[in-house]
Amino acid sequence: MSERTAYETWVEDNQRCLVEEFDRLKTRLAGGEPAEAGRSAINDIDDKHASHSAIDLVTHLFGLSRFERDLLLLCAGVEMNAELARVCGDALGGSHRPSVTFGLALAALEKPHWSALAPIGPLRRWRLIELDESQGLTQARLRIDERVLHYLAGVNYLDPRLRPLLRMRRAGELVATAHRETAASVLSTLQTEGALSSLVLLTGDDLEGQGDVATSVASALGLQLYVLPASMVPATPSEIEALAVLWQRETMLLNAALVVECTEREVPKQMSTFIDQLGGLIFVTGPELPTFHRTGISAEVNRPQAAEQRLLWEQALGGDAAFVNGSLDGVAWQFRLSAGTIAQTGAQLRRRLAGGERPEGLLWRACRKAGRLKLDELAQRIDPTADWAVLVLPPAQVTTLRAMAAQVRHRLTVYQDWGFGHRGTRGLGITALFAGESGTGKTMAAEVLANELNLDLYRIDLSAVVSKYIGETERNLRRLFDAADESGAILLFDEADALFGKRSEVKDSHDRYANIEVSYLLQRMEAYRGLAILTTNMKAALDQAFHRRLRFVIQFPFPDASQREAIWRSMFPAATPTDGLDYAKLAKLHMAGGNIRNIALNAAFLAAHAGESVRMGHLLQAAHSEAAKRDRPLSDAETRGWV
């Protein structure tokens, strides 16, 4: 017999049981003395099914007395059985619309007790029955809650009042081995201590992995799992109590567990109050969690390490892994994606490969795209277009930049194959300082590296990171570095002296918290596994503690005449019409590459407006405009002979 057929048979038997129960109540209300009515259907359902009838399950789950059970059935019968509704109306004098009152139940049902409608009694505590108190307790109209009514009829579903707040969490397609082990450990502890009313706290940088752990534990216990975002936790005590009661009722009716998902570092203040009122198995997940009043089991769940990510990629790609096998190690080391992201990306890649797309670079591009989702919200992505050909620097600086690129490219060999990474996770990233005047090519050099390494480049917006509120800067930086760890991107802290300045002598609380921010930056820079580039035109302003953590320091000098001439020659695209440009004379202009680019661009617009090719006259006009911005007029020696 199929599972569906067994369920349908149970529903039919449950309905027959309800009919016999309603017949018993009708006899009782009519003044008769029913025999053991309803027992034949109840015994039948007990013999044929592992589950009892719905009313017996409710009686057991909520601890109802015989009188409370019959009162609940009577309220259900008024809604479901027209004959029972008529009998109730007659018992109330015939002038009332079909309904149930507490006075009627006290007079007609067996073993009545006044406490059945006490606010702390199960009927009202679990909101099985709703009470209209406008006419006094005994004359008040009683109604069964709609969710409970349908449950008694054999229809079980999530309460509609909770649907806007919750979503069902199903098992992930791929689960990391480390996460399976964490789930097994949590499950063992729960089974030892009792899993029916426990709190499990899951922290770490892999929110999706925390959900996988919770799902694995709930599945092993035979529980459905629902997710409640922490932002949906109500603020007022009355709303918290109402939500807690509805959910606790669902844990029993649906045999379910709950995940309260804290996606941000800031956990709502009312979270502890909410958790205190919840029953059943509760998971709380998030990057960091505070200490709650209620004690629980704690476990850390982070994104899989490189070796395990490679195994996950092999599982996600299946037979197609052979096509991209040469890039699996590099991808596993460069990007720290969750198992769920790997599964989703792998499915997309399989479809693209099946469609005939060439595999070269496909996996790497897909990982870059997957890693952008979070970082795009926190920093500005720069599309790197510059290459080595347009970067004009002295040979020593170019050599150092190429050495940086080589270290990023060969980290897998040195850290994993040669064992340097086994000595600890700190200091495995590469941090460089680009120092020099504005416009000397610092940002362009970062673009060249991103282009060379086929990585995304993100400029950090200091105005969005630094906050006047205590602790907010660290939270912003933590989110930034966590997202960067996942994406494998290059971070560019432009004008970093504003953020990485020297720690000051502590004179007041502001100094103390400012120093804490710098200290936190020092720790995260050292722990970051990717390439972070700091640029500054005030090298002396940086905290000395950073220098030990800098793998490379490159001074970008002001370009000399020969370098300026090379910059001018590389400035105009091949499609730009030019006429009579004298690059040697242009090189006499004492300006850095950034200013030269502005002059060339403005001159191009002047020429386009005039319908002419770019000439020295256009460049002279644009050069005077650029000099005016700097409040430094051009000398005759710089522009002599231009026109």
Q: How many CA atoms lie within 13 A of 171 on its CB side?
A: 14
Helix (H, G, I), strand (E, B) or coil at 380: strand
Q: What share of the chain is helix, strand, coil (3-state, %, to 5)?
A: 55, 10, 35
Alpha-carbon distance values, 380 to 435, 455, 459, 540 (Å)? 21, 14, 5, 27
Q: How many helices (H) and strands (E) does the chain have?
A: 28, 15
Region 388-556: CATH code:
3.40.50.300
Radius of gyration of the chain (CA): 36
Question: How confident is the model at residue 505, as a pLDDT?
Answer: 47
Instruction: Read off the amino acid at residue 594.
Output: G
Q: Which two tokens stand for residue 153?
A: 């009829």
Task: Count Cβ atoms below 10 Å from residue 146 Cβ, excluding itself.
Answer: 13
Query: Using CA atoms, how far apart are residues 561 and 567, in angstroms rounded to an integer?
Result: 10
Q: Which two tokens stand for residue 415?
A: 């850290």
Query: Using CA atoms, how far apart are residues 285 and 299, in angstroms rounded to an integer?
Result: 10
Instruction: Read off the amino acid at residue 519.
Output: S
Beta bridge partners of 578: 614
Q: How confident is the model over 154-174, as pLDDT tens digits?
A: 999 999 999 999 999 998 889
Query: Using CA atoms, how far apart are residues 103 and 114, in angstroms rounded to an integer?
Result: 10
Cα 597 from chain centre: 41
Domain layout of the chain by residue ranges: 3-152, 167-300, 306-375, 388-556, 561-639
Question: How confident is the model at residue 61, as a pLDDT?
Answer: 94
Fold of 167-300: Rossmann fold (3.40.50)
Which position has the token pair 């959900």? Answer: 211
Query: Using CA atoms, how far apart are residues 479 and 582, in angstroms rounded to an integer?
Result: 50
Q: In what order do the strands lie in the sheet with 430-436?
A: 380-382, 457-459, 490-493, 531-536, 430-436, 552-556
Question: How confident is the model at residue 71, as a pLDDT?
Answer: 95
Beta bridge partners of 229: 261
Q: How many CA atoms lie within 13 A of 1 on its CB side?
A: 9
Query: Using CA atoms, how far apart are residues 629 and 639, in angstroms rounded to an integer?
Result: 17
Alpha-carbon distance values, 394 to 200, 389, 520, 533, 535 (Å)? 58, 13, 35, 19, 18
Q: Class of 561-639 per CATH?
A: mainly alpha
Residue 279, φ and ψ in degrees, nearest 5: -110, 180
Query: Kind and range of the H or E element at 260?
Result: strand 256-261
Burial class (CB in 10 A: 0-12, 13-18, 19+), 385: exposed
Cα 263 from chain centre: 5
Residues 6+ apart with CB under 8 A from 355: none
- For Cα atoms 600, 603, 604, give the angle at the middle one, nearest 5 degrees: 85
Instruction: Read off the amino acid at residue 621.
Output: Q
Question: How confident is the model at residue 418, as a pLDDT?
Answer: 85
The model carries a pTM of: 0.82
Q: How confident is the model over 420-438, as pLDDT tens digits?
A: 877 666 667 788 999 999 8
DSSP β-ladder status, 430-436 and 552-556: parallel
Is 35:66 a contact under the CB 8 Å cutoff? no
Beta bridge partners of 458: 381, 491
Task: Count Cβ atoms below 10 Å from residue 384 Cβ, excluding itself.
Answer: 20
Q: What is the DSSP string of 543-606?
A: -THHHHH-SEEEEEPPP-HHHHHHHHHTTS-TTS-B-S--HHHHTTS---HHHHHHHHHHHHHH
Comparing CA positions, the residue from 451, 440, 392 lying closest to residue 570 is 392
Query: Using CA atoms, how far apart are residues 552 and 438, in angstroms rounded to an integer?
Result: 19
Is 279:197 a contact under the CB 8 Å cutoff? yes
Comparing CA positions, the residue from 6, 1, 113, 12 lying closest to residue 54 is 12
Question: How confident is the model at residue 38, as a pLDDT?
Answer: 46
Residues of the chain with pLDDT under 50: 1, 37-39, 41-42, 45-47, 49-50, 503, 505-512
Is 34:24 a contact under the CB 8 Å cutoff? yes
DSSP β-ladder status, 141-144 and 100-101: antiparallel
Q: Which residues of 277-306 are buried (b: 16+ CB within 10 A; e: fewer)?
A: ebebbbbbbbbebeebeeeebebebbbbbb
Q: How confident is the model over 553-605, as pLDDT tens digits?
A: 999 999 999 999 999 999 999 999 999 999 999 999 999 999 999 999 999 99
Query: Kind and range of the H or E element at 381?
Result: strand 380-382
Question: How confident is the model at residue 49, as a pLDDT?
Answer: 45
Question: How confident is the model at residue 610, as a pLDDT?
Answer: 95
Question: How confident is the model at residue 517, as a pLDDT?
Answer: 66
Cα 303 from chain centre: 13
Which position has the token pair 């719905």? Answer: 54
DSSP β-ladder status, 224-229 and 141-144: unpaired
Does 561-639 match 388-556 at the fold level?
Answer: no
Alpha-carbon distance values, 485 to 278, 339, 596 (Å)? 35, 15, 36
